[in-house]
Structure 1
Amino acid sequence: MTEKKPLRLGVLVNPFAGIGGALALKGSDGAKIREKALAQGAQKLAKDKMTKALTVLAESEAAVQIKTVAGEMGADSCDQSGLPFEVIFTPANKQTEAQDTEQAARLLIDSGIDVLLFAGGDGTARNICNAVRDKVPVLGVPAGCKIHSGVYAVTPSAAGQVVALMAKGELVSEMEGEVRDIDEDAFRAGKVLARHFGDMRVPAELSYIQAVKMGGREHEELVIADIVAHVLEVMEDLPEAMFVMGSGTTVAAIMEHLALPNTLLGVDIIKNGELVASDVTAQTLLSLTQTAPTKLVITVIGGQGHILGRGNQQLSPAFLHRIGKENMLVIATKQKLQQLEGRPLRLDSGDSELDALLAGHLQVITGYHDKVLYPVV
């Protein structure tokens, strides 16, 4: 049996997060505020909160491969937790600024991490959002004076627990978390002016509803209908995009809803609700999607959890390289994922470089606006 690879975890700390809280400075944004806080004897606690999260992760004995930033921006916390790590960036400034956080986040993403764990407050979340957007899931360890954003775990320990679940291959939901921040100058004047700055992908502990455990044909059909509704909404939002429909009965349910003929053991192409081509070859697929934005809709094939290389060889490495991981819509019910009993999804594209690129954790659509993160090898 193929073994799961360790979760590739990025660790990033804003050392100055929360430094103005105990001194009633109403935040930590701005070099002058940090200098004032340090002059008054403020302690930097963000790295300790990251250490607490990483210690929970270490105690779980889950397999992780950590990449981080030198010193207080991550390495110190990793060292104190006892987890091995690799430093990929050393900031030039001793008193790090927002640009250091953003540069570090970009370098961590470029290094191939599956998820980014960061410690800070709302200002840090804004910096992370500027660098990350929706490239990888992120999870915040709360360490700031103000936490209005929805990208943080409730406690540092909870953050460690969620990452441990991911590393062990448990079903972990993915949600959209808002990044919000207030105007600190207005806050010091007694006004709370919170703004929405963006959204990021956030892993969250999955709460199973009773229906998921019940099983049965009627329930399965309802869940698939929810998945169909989610994919159709994506299609409506992208009328100019080509949607490449892979093999399998879950994909077939989408075609059935659109009243389009479906190739159960082949690949079809649709655009704006209309059939463009049926049962295409690898070369035809490349040709028809060459100039159009393209999304691929695939599901889990067979009992071993294959998503590529079983019944969909028309999805050539050249095609998959071109569309990228971010344009793959993987759909499956939670029941189907649970039947894998923790085994990862499998790739067999025929291109080892592509398989390595797609490995890690994939977002799987499991219902209407319901997604989980699942490991892939």
Structure 2
Amino acid sequence: MSILVIGLIINPLAGLGGTRGLKGSDGEALRALAADMTEQERHRSQDRALRALKPLQAAENVEFVTWAGDMGAAVCAELGLDVTVLGGTGTELTSPEHTRQAATLMLQHGVDLLLFAGGDGTARDICDVVGESIPVLGIPAGVKMHSGVFAVSPEAAGELLCELARGGLVGLRNQEVRDIDEEAFRHDVVRSRFYGEMRVPGEGRYLQHTKVGGRESHELVAADIAAWIVEHMDETTCYLVGPGSTTAAIMEELGLENTLLGVDVVRGGALLCSDANEAELLAVLQDHGGPVRIFVTAIGGQGHILGRGNQQISPRVIRAAGVDSITVVAAKSKIANLQGRPLLVDTNDPELDAAFCGYREVITGYDDRILYPVARMPTEEAK
């Protein structure tokens, strides 16, 4: 079973300015008042994080990485969650710098998703560090929550994480991070500012049922996937297009000849190598010396994305290109047919397989992605 590693950051001061009419929780004024606040006021964000995380107590395939004390470890301890503590602040009056420091170490640790409890100010701090590099999800706990990165409630965040842990079809979408000028807001002036975007998991129960025949439906989905990919190709990247009808649509969109059961190499819109074997792929990569992107798809019913029918994309090729160079493309219907079982890798290199395991993005349509587990062996349910 694939392990979902969640990084947890709680802003202990989030939302504290609301009951005091401060229009937000940013700045030194709130920090100065925090010491005089009641216990109930000071634990608002922790209480909301508890509500979000409670459903995950029974999840056996979820691990948490967090910060000491009120920034996460205390809540995890109360719920009895499996947790790794990366560091701490040594103070109850945390600052935006503490949030950014925690996010930086969690990014380096390699979490699958960063979960945070706070408001727009906390979202800004997280965005400063992670940008669009990993998925994030906000537990609404602040005074101001104009950003689109928050769940509608703590309980909704918990349900979404449980769906993700079960291998459900949880989509990913870019959402805006916005904040308002608190000082202007206190004078009844609303100045909302766009700060950036982060990738956020969306509701997973959206697989559309259709009466269109399977072949026609697959062709439409593959065309949508191909259109999105080709739109984002650049002239300097070398693209290895693996076998399969979904990946073949990429070559069709480019107007190039395709080897349905082989690996084709494209750069600058031109076909460099057709039906390439391992030696040819390695030679192309060595000559190229620049960025590489490898497109693979899942075998229907089995879920294998590496090691079945695309052995040309060997461990040597993958290491030369980089594990993170691999992009998985598949229709949601193909993923749904796995019934929660993970996608599989079997490159005959256990170390490489282990490096690829975890939760990874799958492109499932035009500007449509899901986060789905990848494993190096079937779960008990799949055997």
TM-score range, shorter chain: over 0.9
CA–CA separation in structure 1 for the residues paired with 2:121 and 2:115: 15
CA–CA separation in structure 2 for the residues paired with 1:108 and 1:71: 16
Closer, same or farther: CA 16–213 of 1 in aligned 2, 3 Å:
farther
Aligned to 1:248: 244
Closer, same or farther: CA 6–214 of 1 in aligned 2, 3 Å:
farther
CA–CA separation in structure 1 for the residues paired with 2:212 and 2:48: 39
Could you tell me how far 1:134 is from its partner in structure 2?
2.4
Query: Quick check: 1:268 aligned with 2:264?
Result: yes
SS at match of 1:346: strand
Aligned to 1:277: 273
Closer, same or farther: CA 19–319 of 1 in aligned 2, 3 Å:
farther
Query: Quick check: 1:18 aligned with 2:15?
Result: yes
Deviating beyond 6 angstroms after TM superposition, the runs of 4 or more aligned structure 1 residues are: none
1:20–1:34 contact (8 Å) kept in structure 2: no
Structure 2 matches for 1:96-107, cutoff 5 A? 96-107=94-105
Unaligned runs of 5+ in 2: 376-383
SS at match of 1:307: strand
Question: Which of 219, 226, 229 pairs up with 2:227?
Answer: 229
1:212–1:335 contact (8 Å) kept in structure 2: no
2:65–2:86 contact (8 Å) kept in structure 1: yes
The amino acid across from 2:333 in the alignment is: Q
Query: Quick check: 1:72 aligned with 2:52?
Result: no
Aligned to 1:56: 55
Aligned to 1:293: 291
Aligned to 1:158: 156
1:361–1:375 contact (8 Å) kept in structure 2: yes
SS at match of 1:39: coil
Aligned to 1:307: 305
1:172-200: CA deviation from partner (whole Å, max 9, x where unpaired): 11111111111222222222111211111
Query: Quick check: 1:31 aligned with 2:18?
Result: no
TM-score (norm 1): 0.92
The amino acid across from 2:20 in the alignment is: L
The amino acid across from 2:318 in the alignment is: L
1:66–1:85 contact (8 Å) kept in structure 2: yes
Question: How many residue pairs get matched?
Answer: 371
CA–CA separation in structure 1 for the residues paired with 2:68 and 2:83: 10
CA–CA separation in structure 2 for the residues paired with 1:232 and 1:130: 29
Could you tell me how far 1:82 is from its partner in structure 2?
2.9
1:126–1:197 contact (8 Å) kept in structure 2: yes
The amino acid across from 2:141 in the alignment is: A
The amino acid across from 1:57 in the alignment is: L
CA–CA separation in structure 2 for the residues paired with 1:186 and 1:276: 57
1:62–1:168 contact (8 Å) kept in structure 2: no
2:2–2:342 contact (8 Å) kept in structure 1: no
CA–CA separation in structure 2 for the residues paired with 1:75 and 1:353: 31
CA–CA separation in structure 1 for the residues paired with 2:101 and 2:194: 22
Deviates more, 1:49-58 or 1:311-320: 311-320
SS at match of 2:342: coil
CA–CA separation in structure 1 for the residues paired with 2:9 and 2:318: 31
Could you tell me how far 1:215 is from its partner in structure 2?
5.2
Question: Which of 175, 178, 182 pairs up with 2:176?
Answer: 178
Could you tell me how far 1:367 is from its partner in structure 2?
0.8
The amino acid across from 1:282 in the alignment is: E
TM-align CA RMSD: 1.9
Could you tell me how far 1:316 is from its partner in structure 2?
3.0
SS at match of 2:249: helix
Name the % identity: 48
Closer, same or farther: CA 234–163 of 1 in aligned 2, 3 Å:
same
Closer, same or farther: CA 95–88 of 1 in aligned 2, 3 Å:
same
2:160–2:204 contact (8 Å) kept in structure 1: no
Aligned to 1:139: 137
Question: Which of 342, 345, 354 pairs up with 1:344?
Answer: 342
Unaligned runs of 5+ in 1: none
CA–CA separation in structure 2 for the residues paired with 1:106 and 1:352: 29
CA–CA separation in structure 1 for the residues paired with 2:171 and 2:281: 32
Could you tell me how far 1:9 is from its partner in structure 2?
1.5
SS at match of 2:338: coil
1:200-258: CA deviation from partner (whole Å, max 9, x where unpaired): 111111242544576532222222221121112112xx232211101111111221232
The amino acid across from 2:343 in the alignment is: L
Aligned to 1:7: 4
